[in-house]
Amino acid sequence: MNGLKIVGLGHFVPENVYTNDEISKNIETDDEWIRTRTGIEERRFVGNDETNYSLAVKAADMAIKNAGVSKDDISYIITCTFSADFPVPSIACMVQSELEIGDSCTCFDINAACSGFLYGLHTVRGLLLQEKDKNKYGLVIGSEVISRHLDMNDRETCILFGDGAGAAVVKLEENYLYEFTSGSKGNYEVLHVGALNEDKQYVGMKGKDVFKFAVTTIPKCINNVLNESNLSIDDIDYVVCHQANKRIIEAVMTKYKQPAEKFPMNIMKYGNTSAASIPIMLSEMNEKGMFKKGQKVILVGFGAGLTWAANLIEI
């Protein structure tokens, strides 16, 4: 099978750190509540001179350098985001411009909320499969500035999210494992950003419903890709979950009776960065030298829509 090989990874998070204590200055909450209910200790918010595309550019630049590929060989840039700076041009086109990538590259954004990066990987694989030249690369970016969409007086949502970007350069690889599963529910009520006739585009959420959805949907996604590939969870080296809540990830880990090392987490430092959370995690794992050729990795996420997806990839 033509699998999708990640050849380079990068990430960037803003410098501004907001601890739970700082968040608690304006609302009735505290560090202890946030840590125990979510695992989050701090998050990053953009400064005045930063934008969604400035984060995306830095993550993409790092991924391209890490891959060591020529920019001329990048045929697609797909940015996965719900928090673009403006409707058009796309963040992908802004990245193309800032990194001076040639005009034979096709650039567009997709929005599948927190599942975005996983949809982006699957989309780029489909596009690369149609290319005559199978040695072309795709650049998939997850980039979010969620701080613009937070009501800092709503303690149920403002504690959860952060800003950041992650990116992967990918190519097709013959005889590589690849499986994908996805779906969506067509649901607005449980999790959304913005509402008709409202000036502010804030996150609105029924936290308990999202939690229940996540702890049932993630195992379904994992089981789907395992069944399709005739593998068991013991054959998998890492399950990289969307970083939404430490308790959600721990519930999945416990269900499969797997060690914590298999389910890496960085939610403590960044909160939920939506479409950026999985590529940031992958890039940090890469920096720590956690990947070895031949490892099998499941990427799994869920988000507003309600959407969900999992990709099984080989390193």
Which positions touch ligand COA (CB under 6 A)? 29, 33, 37-38, 114, 155-156, 159-160, 191, 205, 207-208, 210-211, 244-245, 272, 303
> Would you say 30 or 72 has its CB closer to ligand COA?
30
Query: How far is the C-alpha of 76 from the C-alpha of 106, rounded, in Å?
Result: 5
CB of 147 to ligand COA, least distance (A): 15
Active-site hit among 80, 105, 114, 221: 114
Widest pairwise Cα distance in the chain: 58
Is 20 annotated in the active site?
no
CB of 191 to ligand COA, least distance (A): 6
CB of 3 to ligand COA, least distance (A): 27
φ, ψ of residue 72 to 5 degrees: the values are -65, -20
CA distances, 288 to each of 28, 119, 187 (Å): 37, 26, 38
> Would you say 89 or 207 has its CB closer to ligand COA?
207
Is 93 annotated in the active site?
no
> Would you say 108 or 211 has its CB closer to ligand COA?
211
CB of 146 to ligand COA, least distance (A): 10
> Would you say 3 or 142 has its CB closer to ligand COA?
142
Active-site hit among 66, 111, 266, 272: 272
Closest CA to 81 of 39, 45, 115: 115
Please, where are the H alpha helices in 153-288?
207-229, 246-255, 267-270, 277-287
Q: Is the dihedral of CA 132, 134, 136, 141 positive or negative?
A: positive
CB of 274 to ligand COA, least distance (A): 7
Beta pairing class for 178-187 and 106-110: unpaired
> Would you say 156 or 284 has its CB closer to ligand COA?
156
Here the tokens at position 67 are 């891959």
Query: How far is the C-alpha of 100 from the C-alpha of 94, rounded, in Å?
Result: 10
Q: Kind and range of the H or E element at 164?
A: strand 164-173
Active-site hit among 80, 107, 242, 266: 242
Is 245 annotated in the active site?
no
Catalytic residues: 114, 242, 272
